[in-house]
Amino acid sequence: MKFYDCETAPSPRRARIFMAEKGLDIPIQQVALRHDEQLTPAFQAINPWCTVPVLELDDGTRISEAIAVCSYLEAAYPEPPLMGVDAADKGIVMMWEHRFEQDGFFAAAEALRNRTPGLKGRAITGPANYPQIPELAERGSARLEHFFRRLDEALEGKEFVAGPRYTIADITALVSVDFAGWLKLTIPDDCAHARRWYEAVSARPSAKA
């Protein structure tokens, strides 16, 4: 197997933390996003959506999208389970993962990609160019404030986002909080549940991935 990565990018970090929690050590190939390597014909042949992560299996099958890479790994390496242990739990984990991808991860991407001078014309990942929209940068920041509050509510009386076990929903939320940090937005002081959780998940060895 081979894992197409970019060590500074938040999206592949979701898969890297997932692999670290599974104890997997998969050979990594760096893709230089800051030099637009993802837009080259060579990389477009690997992933026409021009994104990392991409997991290449030994038979040449390539899987892109963080949630898809994790879905493969969960099925191929079930222990420890990170996407739920029974039907209801699988549904609950996916619910939180998807909510926080939208409220947190996509909001941070919206805020960042629509304001960073170096990303002019690159407001959305992928092969097509879309201009920055300044109101979207504002909106992304506003959405992140809501995300912190929702994360705090989700963690009231629970150790982890989806219940008693660490799951992919914690990974997506953690990476989203750190992504928001690029914009100097942090969990508010009065969000005690989210702050307690953030300290705990950040202290796991996998968080360094």
Query: Which residues bind to its own copies, rule: CB under 8 A?
Result: 48-49, 55, 57, 59, 61, 63-65, 67-69, 71-73, 75-76, 84, 86-88, 90-92, 94-95, 98-99, 124, 128, 130-131, 133, 135-136, 139, 142-143, 146, 150, 153
Q: What is the DSSP letter of 54?
A: E
Quote the least distance from Cβ 149 to its own copies, whole Å.
10
**Minimum CB–partner distance for residue 116 and its own copies (Å):** 18
Of 37 and 65, the one with the shorter C-beta distance to its own copies is: 65
Q: Which is nearer to its own copies, 133 or 200 (CB)?
A: 133
Provide the Cα torsion 7, 164, 153, 70; round to 10°: 30
Of the pair 45, 75, the CB lying nearest its own copies is at 75
Cβ proximity to its own copies, 57 vs 192, nearer residue:
57
Tokens found for residue 45: 């042949």
Distance CA 171, CA 150 (A): 16
Task: Kindly tell me the burial class for residue 38, based on how many C-beta atoms sit within 10 Å of its own C-beta (0-12, 13-18, 19 or more).
Answer: buried
Tell me the helices (H) and strands (E) count for the chain, helix number first.
8, 4
User: Nearer to its own copies by C-beta: 116 or 204?
Assistant: 116
Residue 184 is encoded by which pair of tokens?
Answer: 């100097």
Residue from 199, 92, 101, 100 nearest 150 by CA: 100
For the CB of residue 142, give the shortest distance to its own copies in the complex, in Å: 8
d(CA 201, CA 66): 19
* Nearest distance in Å: CB 32, its own copies: 23
Terminal-residue alpha carbon distance, the chain = 18
- Is cis: bond before 80, omega within 30 of 0? yes
Rounded to the nearest whole angstrom, what is the least distance from the CB of residue 133 to its own copies in the complex? 5
Smallest distance, its own copies to C-beta of residue 146, A: 6
2: nearest Cα among 17, 22, 24:
24
In the bound state with its own copies, the residue whose beta carbon lies nearer, of 154 and 174, is 154
